[in-house]
Homo-oligomer: A and B are copies of this chain.
Amino acid sequence: MLQSFTAFGLEGFPMVHEGDDLARIIVDTAEKNGLEIQNRDVIVVAQKIFSKAERRIVNVREVEPSRRANSLARKVKKSGRFVELVLRETKRVLKASRETLIVEDIRGLICINAGIDKSNVEGSDNFALLPLNPDKSAEECRSEIKRLTGKDVAVIMCDTYSRPFRRGQVNYAIGIAGINPFRDYKGKPDLFGQILKVKNIAVVDEVVAAAELLMGQGNEARPVVVLRGLEESAIFSEKNRVEELYISRREDLFRNTM
């Protein structure tokens, strides 16, 4: 039988505000789209709407820059207030040079500006920070969807980032609930019975990449995508954490390449 999966981009998603119950909005919007949530659906949700619901929008005018932030700001040619925002979310600065600030954030994610940006945030001085605990946010959404619908789904929070060596941004998983981030082939046979030694596919990054194709990054207003038919591709599990995707410098084969 032909294997397939389908991705549905929910239309008519309302603007999200502080304190909103995202799970309820997702369930209601799916229903208005004629889409009944099913067991084993994978629901991909843009980070930005979690940040809005969780009061993670900050007016940069209200941020007092530290001396370290002001000093770094001169180097990277950004405002001290913005750099202060980034530093508060930062564990380690990887690069601070003209117009580029790349950090390992307090959650272990490596990205530009600690993932802070203002696209699709209302108000010209307002910036969205990433949720404090993305796995917890995803899990709360997942269990609330279960309570509302009775269905066991997976929820993945995503955001788009630049990556080394390749032009353009892609969607990455930054919070997970109900799904194993990997499909590990190590020790499994290939077509000719040879044992695979290194293949370990980052399934959740591929799932959110698929979802991005429908989400869009501009005024599409489509922050939630439901993927159906991934039972064979993904491992549904409640024990995993997004940190499993974050590799230590020691283990990273690419260290000392850039």
Task: Give the B-binding residues of A (Cβ under 8 A).
Answer: 1-11, 15, 33-35, 94-95, 97, 100, 102, 110, 112, 118-122, 124, 160, 162-172, 181-182, 185, 188-192, 194, 196, 199-203, 205-207, 209-210, 212-214, 216-219, 221-222, 230, 232-234, 244-247, 251-258
Please name all residues of chain B whose beta carbon is closer than 8 Å to the beta carbon of A102 when the two chains form the complex: 253-254, 257
| CB <8 Å contact, B253 and A112 | yes
Q: A168-B182, A182-B168 are in contact. Are A35 and B206 (CB under 8 A)?
A: no
| CB <8 Å contact, B163 and A218 | no
Interface CB pairs A-B, < 8 A, 8? A1-B11, A2-B10, A2-B35, A6-B6, A169-B201, A191-B221, A206-B209, A257-B258
Please name all residues of chain B whose beta carbon is closer than 8 Å to the beta carbon of A200 when the two chains form the complex: 167-169
| CB <8 Å contact, B209 and A181 | no
Please name all residues of chain B whose beta carbon is closer than 8 Å to the beta carbon of A119 when the two chains form the complex: 190, 194, 196, 199
| CB <8 Å contact, B199 and A217 | yes
Q: A4-B6, A11-B3, A34-B2 are in contact. Are A258 and B205 (CB under 8 A)?
A: no
| CB <8 Å contact, B258 and A252 | yes
Shortest beta-carbon distance from A14 to chain B in Å: 12
Closest to A118 in B: B194
Q: For the complex, give the distance between the alpha carbons of A246 and B102 in Å.
A: 20
| CB <8 Å contact, B170 and A33 | no
Shortest beta-carbon distance from A235 to chain B in Å: 12
Extra inter-chain contacts (10) besides given A168-B201, A171-B206, A191-B221, CB under 8 Å: A95-B256, A122-B191, A160-B199, A164-B164, A165-B252, A168-B182, A170-B202, A191-B219, A196-B217, A206-B212
Question: Which residue, of A3, A213, A216, has the highest number of chain B Cβ atoms within 10 A?
Answer: A213
Closest to A171 in B: B206
| CB <8 Å contact, B4 and A7 | yes
| CB <8 Å contact, B164 and A254 | yes
Question: Which residue, of A118, A199, A207, has the highest number of chain B Cβ atoms within 10 A?
Answer: A199
Please name all residues of chain B whose beta carbon is closer than 8 Å to the beta carbon of A199 when the two chains form the complex: 119, 160, 169, 217-218
Partner of A254, one of B6, B209, B214, B258: B258
| A-B CB proximity, top 5 nearest | A168-B202, A210-B210, A209-B209, A164-B254, A206-B209
Shortest beta-carbon distance from A217 to chain B in Å: 5
Q: For the complex, give the distance between the alpha carbons of A252 and B95 in Å.
A: 12
Closest to A232 in B: B214
